[in-house]
A and B are shown apart, each in its own frame.
Chain A
């Protein structure tokens, strides 16, 4: 069974304090890994897609990386507006064209 595990569950940072979020997966034949940002009371907003080990994507203060077993979302010099829940997801293997989501990391950046 495909599994996606995110850690930590919650993370509190001071403004400017860099850190990383982890997403580990057990999927045979990975066909992509997606990162989303979700604000309270809103739907997830797509951030990145990673397809192969070694791939990196960047957007402002965020950088996503991928290995054969996990992905990291690095946050450099975060600002309070980066506070949100970050979700990762992988495509379900087999005929069902859907995503399996991790439970997310709640990030709070304090000024």
Chain B
């Protein structure tokens, strides 16, 4: 079955540590996105990529970094510069058009040790 796989499901970060969240899709979609979701809030865009080797900052990119070396993969690194990283992180993809619905993975919950 085609879909988006995020791993791990739960992740813990120590002070000063960088952690990387994985997102893989086998939908052959061009565009991929990372969102952050805090309790009681909507999704906020961190980074997005419309094509391999290209990505753009979203609304809350500070303290995060991404890469897009392969069409299927869009990993997100939460750096030590992100002072409040505890949240639910969601990866999404879409064939390419901005007015098409996005398909989501099941998220990674990141907590601070």
Taking Cβ atoms with an 8 Å cutoff, the residues of A that contact B are: 4, 9, 31-32, 34, 36, 41-46, 49, 51, 87, 89, 91-92, 96-99, 101-104
Which label, helix, strand, loop or mixed, suits the secondary structure of the B interface?
A: strand
Q: How far, in angstroms, from A89 to B103 measured CA to CA in the complex?
A: 13
Range of interface residues on chain B?
20 to 34
A32 and B48 contact, Cβ closer than 8 Å, known pairs A41-B107, A42-B106, A103-B41? no
Residues of A contacting B: mostly: loop
Q: Which of B13-21, B64-72, B73-81, B93-101 contacts A (4 or more CB under 8 A)?
A: B93-101
Closest residue on chain B to residue A47 by CB atoms: B101
Known A44-B104, A97-B50; contact A91-B42, beta-carbon cutoff 8 A: no
Beyond A98-B45, A99-B102: 9 further Cβ-contacts under 8 Å? Answer: A4-B42, A43-B4, A43-B107, A45-B104, A91-B99, A97-B48, A97-B94, A99-B45, A104-B42
Kindly list the 5 A-B residue pairs having the minimum CB-CB distance in the complex, ordered from nearest.
Answer: A97-B98, A43-B104, A101-B42, A31-B99, A103-B42
